[in-house]
């Protein structure tokens, strides 16, 4: 059973995801090229949050008590924007590390070798964005969860690995859909 603070964190994260990708709620995207992609994006985001809730329960997530009352959507969006900013700043530091640069280089190299790339510069930019978005989501959803949990070692058990695998698949799908919307 989730605590009140945990439920608020779920809602905050739900909104924060949009701020990570778009800097605003997905519902406020102007001239969405593909309304079906937006519907898929929202569905996958919901499935991802469902997986995060499973993770919360598994690791006995106990967020700190809230400093201020969250009594309206405006406050929730403010919290979501702030969380997204922190997550993006943290991932910017990580994207420039040698390990991540090497990972991106290897992914682009594989694409080039498979013949799936026409424009290498564009492929590099896309891979950098995908990696940055994935890392920002991990920072937002996973790092905070682990840092505020009492039993994060459960993620190393069989059930934890299944939840983590589901998270990774849904995260990848969500990043792909967000890239289409951008």
Residue 59: pLDDT band with limits 50, 70, 90? confident
Question: What is the per-residue pLDDT across 121-174, written as a single tens digit (0 to 9) for each?
Answer: 887 888 888 888 998 999 989 888 887 777 778 778 888 899 999 999 999 999
Mean pLDDT of 79-88: 89
Residue 113: pLDDT band with limits 50, 70, 90? confident
Residue 149's φ and ψ, nearest 5 degrees, are: -115, 155
Into how many domains does the chain fold?
1
Domain membership of residue 84 as a residue range? 4-181
Question: What is the per-residue pLDDT across 4-44, written as a single tens digit (0 to 9) for each?
Answer: 788 888 888 999 999 999 988 888 876 667 778 888 999 99
Question: Mean pLDDT lowest for which of 91-95, 111-115, 143-147?
Answer: 111-115
Widest Cα–Cα separation across the chain: 54
Mean pLDDT of 93-110: 81
| pTM (two decimals) | 0.85
Q: What is the pLDDT of residue 67?
A: 62
Q: What is the pLDDT of residue 171?
A: 94
> Residue 141 is encoded by which pair of tokens?
């959803």
């Amino acid at each position: 059973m989730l605590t009140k603070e945990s439920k608020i964190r779920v809602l905050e994260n739900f909104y924060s995801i949009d701020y990570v990708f778009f800097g605003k709620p997905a519902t406020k995207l102007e001239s969405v090229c593909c309304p079906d992609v937006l519907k898929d994006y929202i569905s996958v985001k919901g499935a991802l949050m469902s997986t995060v809730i499973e993770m919360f329960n598994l690791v006995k997530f106990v967020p700190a008590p809230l400093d201020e009352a969250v009594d309206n959507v405006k406050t929730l969006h403010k919290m979501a924007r702030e969380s997204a900013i922190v997550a993006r700043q943290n991932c910017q530091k990580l994207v420039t590390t040698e390990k991540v640069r090497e990972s991106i280089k290897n992914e682009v190299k594989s694409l080039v070798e498979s013949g799936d790339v026409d424009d290498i510069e564009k492929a590099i930019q896309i891979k950098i964005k995908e990696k940055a978005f994935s890392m920002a989501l991990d920072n937002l959803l996973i790092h905070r969860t682990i840092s505020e949990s009492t039993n994060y070692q459960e993620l190393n058990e069989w059930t934890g690995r299944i939840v983590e695998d589901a998270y990774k698949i849904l995260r990848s799908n969500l990043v792909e859909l967000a890239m289409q919307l951008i």
